[in-house]
Each structure stands twice: as C-alpha cells, then as structure tokens.
Structure 1
Amino acid sequence: MSKRILFTGGGSAGHVTVNTALIPHFEKEGWAITYIGSKDGIEKEIITDQFPHIPYKEISSGKLRRYFSWKNFSDPFRVMKGVLEALSIIRKTKPDIIFSKGGFVSVPVVMAAKIAKVPVAIHESDVTPGLANKLAVPFATKIFTTFPETVNVLPAEKSICAGAIIREELFTGDEKEGRRLTGYHNLKPVLMIMGGSLGARKINEAVRSNLGDLLNHFQIVHICGKGNVEPHMEQPGYKQYEFIKGDLPHYLAMTDFVISRAGSNSIFEFLALKKPMLLIPLSREASRGDQILNANSFVKHGYALKLEEEEVTAETFLQHVKELESKRDEYVSAMENADKAYTIQDMYEELSTMSK
C-alpha cells in the first residue's frame, strides 16, 4: 500500500513554490498526494494547472490581519470551520504526513493535524516567521527554515535550517537557447530585471530613465509585470516581458546580473545559480518588512547589494548597478562558498522518516 502525503499552503505564489518543487518527487516515489487550499487563493490556480490529477480540497480560512478590521471578529469562526473541514479531509485521506508551506489557509490544516495525530512539517521561507507560521509552530512536529538565523527564534528541539528547496528544472536552462530566444550575443553581459508578479513601478521607471547608460554596458531582459510593457521603448538590446514562464531557466542561464525584489524563493534561486544581484526589497509600508530582512541577510553574507525602495532614484539606481558590475567576482566567490541547501532528495528523505 502506497504512502500518503497531504500538502497545504497558499495566499501567495511563494507559499506554493516549495510544494510544486516537492510534489513531482513524491509522485515519482509512488506516494498518494492530496492538496488542501482555499476556495479562491492563487494556490488553487497553480496546483490545478500544474497537477490537474491531484485531488484539490477546499477549506475556509481567515486572514488573521495585524490591523483593525471588523472581519477580525468573524474570521476566527471561519478558521474554526476550516479546522473541522480539514479534519474531515484528513480522516478520509489518512495521510502519513502533512507538509505545510504557510499562508493563512495552512493554519486550520495544521491545527486539525494535531487533533488527528498526524505529523506535520512546516517550511518557513523568510528570516522571521510570518503570522500564519507563528500560529502553526506549536502544532508542528518539525520546522524547516530557509535562513540560518531563523532557527534562533524557533523551538530549537524541532527546528532545522534546510535552506531553500529549489525547483530542479531551474538547473536545466540552456544559455544558447536563451540567446536564441532574445537574439542576444555574448559580447556584452546580460542584465535581468524582475519586480515580482505585478512588476514594480519605481524599478521600471528607474530602468527606463537610465536605458541609454545601461545599454552601453548590458543587454537587458526586463520582466516588468502585467500591463507594464511599453512597446515604444523596445530597441536592440532591450526586451520587455510581462512575465516569463516555461522558458525562464533558459533566460537565467544566459543572465550575468539580476535586479530583483527580495522574496525568499527568488533570491535563493539566484544564489543557487550564482547570479550577482541588486536587491530592492518591498518597503515596510507595502509589507511586514520580511523582504528587507531577507535582503539584509544576503548583504551580510556577501551575496548581494541592497537599495532601499525609498532611496530609488534614477541616479542611485545607476550607481548601484555600476557597483554591482564592479564587484561581480566578489559576489560569485561568496556564493560559491555558501552552505549547501537541502536538495529535493534530502527533503524527501527527511519527510519520509517523519511519516507515521
């Protein structure tokens, strides 16, 4: 009889990425897989699109806001409803282990797992745990962290730094295919700019206001977000995309430098590929500050250069890009000496030993 695993996590793409990296390996090993997500979260679209054959179970979940909202009074009841729904799914599917990537939908699942006495593994991507994972920690059997410093703020007896779990297809990129797709040559380095799934207005403006100077030094791949392509700016050496999906490994293979937000999954992918990076984290006004802490950690370890969003101007942006270029060898050397993260096989073996 095959073993069974239940995955959960959602609310943002970052709360699904590790799951989508692990699921194919568990499938290959013959495990039966179920996914619990919300009714209308991004996780539903991602999982049902990539794994249409995997049962996707919907539950209720609350948002657990850090600010005042009348919904804060009703959402605890939605969470309790979600616990009962998750408990029913767990009892029907009888998983040997539950793997949670976080996000609000995971909280009822982890609570229900404790009631059902099913071991739970949590993976935390950021330097400091998000609110959902903070609530889930007491119910977890084991907690895997991405950043080494995160272990210091979690129960030591059940926490381990695993590093980032990187999608295996990321290492399959072909530099020649990337150049074919763009028409770029190898006489000038390639600079990739990505501002997240929706793009980043301030970053896009800084790139375009410096385009002449940048094109003197680089060929540019600009992933500028939905609705942010400006066709009139297209010119030799400057290509714009709303987003790049399946071919991204080929584009990354030919890339020499990256300018990016500081979401954990993305920056650890650049680290694994040894791409020197300029990080422009989301400001505290637009987030809980996790990207700033992520960027600070990478700066401390010598993997990246940081520019605060509030400090982005045409001038500061260009200065930092030039500094990134001048220190390329330092960043690559530091990344080559970085601690090795768990492979997907390592994580599979860890989780297998936890199954009841």
Structure 2
Amino acid sequence: MRTIMFTGGGSAGHVTVNLALIPEFLKDGWQVEYIGSTNGIERTLLESKPEVRYWPIETGKLRRYLDLQNVKDPFKVLKGMTQAYRIIRKQKPAVLFSKGGFVSVPVVFAAWLNRVPVIIHESDMTPGLANRIAIPFATGVCTTFPETARSQAGGKYRHIGPIIREEMRQGRKERGRALCDFHSGKPVLMMMGGSLGARRLNEVLRESLDELLERFQIVHLCGKNGVDGTYRQRGYKQFEYVNEELPHLLAMSDIVVSRAGSNSIFEFLALEKPMLLVPLPKGQSRGDQLQNAESFRRLGYCDVLQEENLTAERFMERVLHLYANRQSYREAMREGNENQGDGLAAVRQWLLSAARK
C-alpha cells in the first residue's frame, strides 16, 4: 500500500483543500497520513476522518511583528523539523502535499531531506510567508489564480484553478433552514468571518441587526469566542464555527458577506453566491485578501467594501445593493464557472505523477 502525506494548518483555509483531496486517495486504496500541530484547528478537523493517521509535531509561528515568542519559536520549529524528519523517514510516503501555514515549513524541509517529492498549494494571488520559505524545497506549486503562475519565474508553478470539496455542492436548503429554525418566505444573508472570526464585521452586523432583520434572516458564523448570547432575535442564528453544516447553510443563503480568503470565495463562486467582501486590511495582513477581492471585483463576481470605510450605514447600503443586483452577479459567476477546469483532478494527477517519479 502506497502512502501519501498531507500537511497544513493554523486556520481552516490551510486545511480545506487537504480535506477535498484526502477522500480521493482513500478511495484509491492509499494509506493517508497527516502531519500537523499539536493543538491546531487541523487536528480538530481531521477528527472526522479516523482512517487518516495524524502525527502531531511542535511548531512555532511565523510572525511579522516583535513578540517575546519569537525568541522561543525557532527552537520549537527545530524540534518540529526533527520530529517530522523521523516520521517521514519511518513512514516513507511516496509524496507530500502541503497546503501552507506555519506548521508546513518544517514538514516540507524534512520531506526534502528525505528526498520525498513535495507539491505545494497556494490559494492566494501571491504566496504567503510560509510558502515562500518552503517553495525552494518543493517539486511543484499549484496556483488557484492564473495571475500567480504567470507572475512567477521558473517551471515549478502550474495554474490548476480552485479545488472545491465535493460535499460543498451537496447542501440542502431545507436542512439549512432546520438548523437555524428559518422559513422559506424570507431571504437569507450569511455572514462569514473565517474560522478565527472577524471582530469588526461582527460589530457592524450587530449594529445593523434590527434593520437587517426587517429584510433578511441572518446566519452568522462568528468565529472563535464570537457568539454573543445577548442577541436572541428570531431570524438570527449564531454559530462559532461550522464544518459539516456549512454546505447546508450556504445552500439556503441568498447572499454572503465575508472576508476574502481564497478558499472561501472560490467556494462561493462555485455555488454562485453573490458576495460582499470585506478584505482584511493591509495593517492586519500581508495584503493577500485585498488582491483576492480586487480580482473577483474586476470579474464581476462580488462587491467590495474596505474595512476603513466600514460603517453600519454603508454596510446596510451595500448589502441591499448586493441583494437587488444578485442576478447580475450570478450570471457573471456562471460564466466564470464555465471557464474553470477541474482543479481537484488536476492536482490529483500531479501528485500521482510526482509519486511515480
């Protein structure tokens, strides 16, 4: 039995592509293993797949700011690299697939030391810090945006398009309504801030809640520690985080308000959900979400509201505009989807080819 190993973590976005690929290899009879952090979200998400062996390692965090932990973290990374090297040497995977995040850096380097081919996936327009460090040790890099492959020198980069989990296409509206105690007579707005949440987005939604509830039922994915029990209005349902429920909640949603993480917005695109994107501003990120959102805006897939302009009044105005023009957004997304290839099949073939070599 051949073995494939996955890595990636820190946020749900660094795991979802792995979750799309893993069932394909399990179905084909591969032994599937995963190296992740000891307490990261990737470990929680992999609990639903007991057939996948999970290997926890020590890991630090790649910070762009001064912090006392920056002194300790290099030692954690070195320990994690040693652990990953021993795991890979013992398990002898035919190939490693890395989705990124800080946990992936020592794993990719350990695979390179063990002469295991590595395929990296980059969701955003430009590679993140972890992937920039890891790419020199990789066999190839899959890109979601065509601009990424065109802008990078060398033969490692290949545009394969978005990888959409099959279960995302299997949501049922009635199941979503049952989860939220909603009815079919009123449109649904979904607010989604990512697995770690979006504090400012949560605040503005709640400032506008009474006015919004006159027009919409609202399902609010608040992020970690984001649920506020003081808001109990009918038609407003809060979740800290969802996993298996997400396809059903999206199926019933008419419009979506979200950050601009690549994995999420490509899932909204695949499902033709009109979206208002509020990307993380430059001061809170490296600017990748700003680039993602602008690319989608140019193609007519979304409206964009910058966080520095985010007030309750403007938020309400843009939500109503999005809903009023929802059909034009759907038409643009339908045309875009017709031009998309099968990213899942493309990366699977690349992994099989790398494993054979």
Length-normalised TM-score, structure 1: 0.91
Cα distance 1:134–1:228, how it changes in 2: closer, same or farther (>3 A)? closer
Q: CA deviation at 1:72?
A: 4.3
Which residue in 2 is equivalent to 1:319?
A: 317
Q: Does the aligned pair in 1 maintain the 2:142–2:347 contact within 8 Å?
A: no
Q: CA deviation at 1:341?
A: 4.4
Cα distance 1:251–1:73, how it changes in 2: closer, same or farther (>3 A)? closer
For the pair 1:8 / 2:10, whether they are aligned, the reply is no
Partner secondary structure for residue 225 of structure 1 = coil
Aligned pairs for 1:312-351 within 5 A = 312-338=310-336, 339-351=339-351
Of 287, 290, 294, 1:289 maps to 287
Q: CA deviation at 1:8?
A: 1.1
Cα distance 1:156–1:193, how it changes in 2: closer, same or farther (>3 A)? same
Question: 1:178-217: CA deviations, max 9, x gaps?
Answer: 2333343333321111222343332223223323432332
Unpaired stretches in structure 2, ≥5 consecutive residues: none
Cα distance 1:212–1:71, how it changes in 2: closer, same or farther (>3 A)? closer
1:52 counterpart letter in structure 2: P
Which residue in 1 is equivalent to 2:61?
A: 63
Q: Does the aligned pair in 2 maintain the 1:220–1:239 contact within 8 Å?
A: yes
Q: CA deviation at 1:74?
A: 5.3
Question: 1:210-257: CA deviations, max 9, x gaps?
Answer: 234323322222223344444454334333333333222112111110
Which residue in 1 is equivalent to 2:202?
A: 204
In 1, Cα distance between equivalents of 2:230 and 2:81 = 52
2:20 counterpart letter in structure 1: A
Question: 1:306-328: CA deviations, max 9, x gaps?
Answer: 11112111111011112212221
Q: Does the aligned pair in 2 maintain the 1:104–1:132 contact within 8 Å?
A: yes
Q: CA deviation at 1:77?
A: 4.6
For the pair 1:249 / 2:247, whether they are aligned, the reply is yes
In 2, Cα distance between equivalents of 1:115 and 1:243 = 37
Q: CA deviation at 1:71?
A: 4.9
In 2, Cα distance between equivalents of 1:106 and 1:255 = 34
Partner secondary structure for residue 50 of structure 1 = coil
Which residue in 1 is equivalent to 2:171?
A: 173
Aligned pairs for 1:293-304 within 5 A = 293-304=291-302
Bigger shift: residues 75-84 or 205-214: 75-84
Bigger shift: residues 57-66 or 329-338: 57-66
Unpaired stretches in structure 1, ≥5 consecutive residues: none
| Corresponding pairs, count | 354
Q: Does the aligned pair in 2 maintain the 1:125–1:146 contact within 8 Å?
A: yes
Question: 1:77-135: CA deviations, max 9, x gaps?
Answer: 54344333322222211111110111122112222222222211000111111111001
Q: Does the aligned pair in 1 maintain the 2:121–2:141 contact within 8 Å?
A: yes
Which residue in 2 is equivalent to 1:269?
A: 267
Bigger shift: residues 75-84 or 4-13: 75-84
Which residue in 2 is equivalent to 1:148?
A: 146
Question: 1:265-303: CA deviations, max 9, x gaps?
Answer: 111111110000001122222222222222112112211
Q: CA deviation at 1:75?
A: 4.1
In 1, Cα distance between equivalents of 2:11 and 2:197 = 15
The runs of 4+ residues in structure 1 deviating greater than 6 Å are none
In 1, Cα distance between equivalents of 2:36 and 2:226 = 30
Partner secondary structure for residue 125 of structure 2 = coil
1:307 counterpart letter in structure 2: L
1:166 counterpart letter in structure 2: I
In 2, Cα distance between equivalents of 1:40 and 1:230 = 25
In 2, Cα distance between equivalents of 1:171 and 1:345 = 16
Bigger shift: residues 224-233 or 268-277: 224-233
Q: CA deviation at 1:353?
A: 1.6
Aligned pairs for 1:90-105 within 5 A = 90-105=88-103
1:37 counterpart letter in structure 2: G
Cα distance 1:308–1:54, how it changes in 2: closer, same or farther (>3 A)? same
Q: Does the aligned pair in 2 maintain the 1:165–1:341 contact within 8 Å?
A: no
Cα distance 1:221–1:68, how it changes in 2: closer, same or farther (>3 A)? closer
RMSD value, Cα: 2.2
Cα distance 1:74–1:238, how it changes in 2: closer, same or farther (>3 A)? closer
1:46 counterpart letter in structure 2: L
Cα distance 1:58–1:199, how it changes in 2: closer, same or farther (>3 A)? closer
Identity, in percent, stands at 54
In 1, Cα distance between equivalents of 2:79 and 2:243 = 36
Question: 1:112-171: CA deviations, max 9, x gaps?
Answer: 222222211000111111111001111111100112221134334121122221111111
Q: Does the aligned pair in 2 maintain the 1:234–1:240 contact within 8 Å?
A: no
In 2, Cα distance between equivalents of 1:20 and 1:194 = 20
2:125 counterpart letter in structure 1: V
